[in-house]
């Protein structure tokens, strides 16, 4: 019984771990712009690694992803996506904002 | 994508045959193009030197630029300059109309070094002047809060009376991203003149000095510096600035 339970647990982990990791990776590397707001407002990423972040503008209007901390400034057209390459980052907080709607801000946290 | 490839091929063809007398303007270019952005730009230099023939030399550029897409920025520019005359009264005139292009060859941060190309043609506005092609290889590397940019330049005069030699130079900028409004840095400028001549150090122009960069009032970028001449060919001092209004 105990052996069967362990087997089920191992199988469960083997099945779910890649799914969980994959979904976390996808979520962690995407920033959505909708109604001129960033989602998520805080994005946690691993420190010390080169990262590829997708910025998905779901609004019909253009937006600019800008960050002084990350030294990035890229326009993302309405309804389109761009890739922003960042890092490797030291542990810390890195702010960014939507340059065409400056009230929209977000933070990347490198851990 | 086809447009990008065509532009890169055009860029390399232009770079191969390049030549010119001095740097067209005192601005170090990052390999970046910002899609949909317009800019109005004023660039200038003012030389200070005890020798009459090198003192009070001034050069100004007034430009309108536009980011056509995420990898091509184009700019139209009017160049005016003053040259000291025998009676110490400077003549001031529009000398060239210039078409500049910056090609960003890869998204920023994708590779270890960010690459780009700068291509320009200066058309003379005065009969005695000649036109010139200018090409630069633009390289940028961010190291934590330091931004380092290297421009390698090639210039070639064209038209009747043009110098047959190709000139070259190097300019380097390192700045510390202290705040969005104020970034202290240092620039080094070298104009080694005709590449084939291999002039002595003092016959080449070498300048180095502090520069300050930043962003003000939402739309204004500034780049102001003072360069000390560190070779005989360079003026003893030079004030340089770039003011840019983005919208």
Distance from CA of A25 to the nearest CA of B (A): 19
**Beta-carbon separation of A85 and B109 below 8 A:** yes
**Nearest beta carbon to residue B34 from set A73, A83, A86:** A73
Mean pLDDT of B193-203: 85
Q: What is the pLDDT of residue A5?
A: 46
**B69: nearest CA in chain A?**
A75
Instruction: Please say if the pLDDT value at position A16 is more than 70.
Output: no
Instruction: For residues B18 and B156, give the distance between their C-alpha atoms in angstroms, rounded to a whole number.
Output: 5
pLDDT single digits (tens) B44-84: 999 998 887 778 788 899 999 999 999 999 999 999 988 66
Encoded tokens for A77: 């057209």
Indicate if the pLDDT at residue A15 is higher than 80: no
Q: Is B202 within 8 Å of B224 (Cβ atoms)?
A: no
* Mean predicted lDDT score pLDDT of chain B: 87
Contact B57, B193 (CB under 8 A): no
Decide: helix, strand or coil at residue A60: coil
d(CA B230, CA B233): 9
* Weakest mean pLDDT among A84-98, B135-149, B188-202: B188-202
Q: Which of A47-56, B136-145, B159-168, B230-239 has the lowest mean pLDDT?
A: B159-168
- Do the chains contact at B109 and A74, CB–CB below 8 Å? no
In this structure, of A51-65, B27-41, B83-97, the range with the lowest mean pLDDT score is B83-97
pLDDT at A7 over 70: no
Q: Residue A29 pLDDT more than 80?
A: yes
Is residue A20's pLDDT more than 50? Answer: no
Top-confidence residue, B91 or B57: B57
Cα B73 to Cα B101: distance, rounded to the nearest angstrom: 6
Across the interface, do B70 and A74 touch by the CB < 8 Å criterion? Answer: yes
Tens of pLDDT, residue by residue over A73-98, are 999 999 999 999 998 999 999 999 99
Percentage of the residues of chain B whose pLDDT score is greater than 70? 87
* pLDDT tens sequence across B96-121: 899 999 999 999 999 999 999 999 99
Mutation for testing the B interface, residue in A47, A61, A68, A82 having most B CBs under 10 Å:
A68
* pLDDT at residue A11, rounded to an integer: 52
pLDDT at residue A59 tops 60: yes
Selected residue with higher pLDDT from B198 and B222: B222
If residue A77 lies in a helix (H) or strand (E), which one and from where to where?
Answer: none
Distance (Å, rounded) from C-alpha B47 to C-alpha B91? Answer: 15
Residue A9 has pLDDT above 80, yes or no: no
Question: Residue A108 has what pLDDT?
Answer: 94
* Global confidence as pTM: 0.82
Question: Which ipTM was obtained for this model?
Answer: 0.76
Any idea which residue has 């300059």 for tokens?
B81
DSSP 8-state assignment for residue B162: -
Residue B21 pLDDT > 50? no
Please provide the average confidence, as pLDDT, over all residues in chain A. 80
Over residues B33-52, mean pLDDT? 92
């Amino acid at each position: 019984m105990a052996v069967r339970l362990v087997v089920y647990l191992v199988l469960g982990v083997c099945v779910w771990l890649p799914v969980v990791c994959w979904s976390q990776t996808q979520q962690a590397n995407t920033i959505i712009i909708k109604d001129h707001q960033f989602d998520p407002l805080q994005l946690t990423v691993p420190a010390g690694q080169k990262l590829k972040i997708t910025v998905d503008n779901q609004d019909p209007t253009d937006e600019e992803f800008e960050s002084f901390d990350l030294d990035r400034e890229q326009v993302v057209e309405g309804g389109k996506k761009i890739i922003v390459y960042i890092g490797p980052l030291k542990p810390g907080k890195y702010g960014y904002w939507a340059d065409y709607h400056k009230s929209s801000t977000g933070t990347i946290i490198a851990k | 994508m086809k447009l990008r490839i065509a532009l890169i091929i055009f860029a390399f063809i232009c770079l191969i045959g390049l030549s010119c007398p001095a740097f067209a303007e005192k601005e170090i270019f990052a390999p970046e193009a910002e899609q949909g952005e317009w800019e109005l730009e004023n660039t200038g230099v003012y030389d200070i030197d005890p020798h009459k023939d090198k003192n009070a030399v001034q050069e100004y550029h007034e430009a309108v630029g536009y980011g056509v897409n995420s990898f091509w920025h184009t700019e139209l520019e009017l160049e005016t300059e003053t040259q000291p005359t025998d009676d110490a009264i400077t003549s001031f005139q529009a000398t060239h109309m210039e078409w500049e292009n910056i090609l960003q060859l890869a998204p920023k941060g994708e590779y270890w070094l960010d690459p780009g190309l700068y291509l320009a043609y200066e058309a003379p506005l005065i009969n005695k002047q000649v036109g010139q092609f200018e090409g630069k290889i633009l390289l940028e590397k961010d190291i934590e809060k330091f931004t380092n940019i290297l421009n390698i330049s090639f210039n070639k005069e064209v038209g009747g009376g043009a110098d047959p030699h190709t000139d070259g130079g190097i300019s380097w900028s390192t700045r510390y991203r202290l705040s969005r409004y104020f970034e202290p840095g240092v620039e080094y400028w070298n104009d080694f003149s005709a590449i084939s001549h291999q002039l002595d150090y003092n016959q080449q122009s070498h300048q180095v000095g502090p520069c300050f960069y930043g962003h003000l009032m939402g739309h204004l970028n500034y780049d102001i510096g003072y360069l000390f001449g560190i070779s005989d060919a360079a003026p003893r001092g030079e004030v340089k600035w770039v003011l840019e209004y983005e919208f």
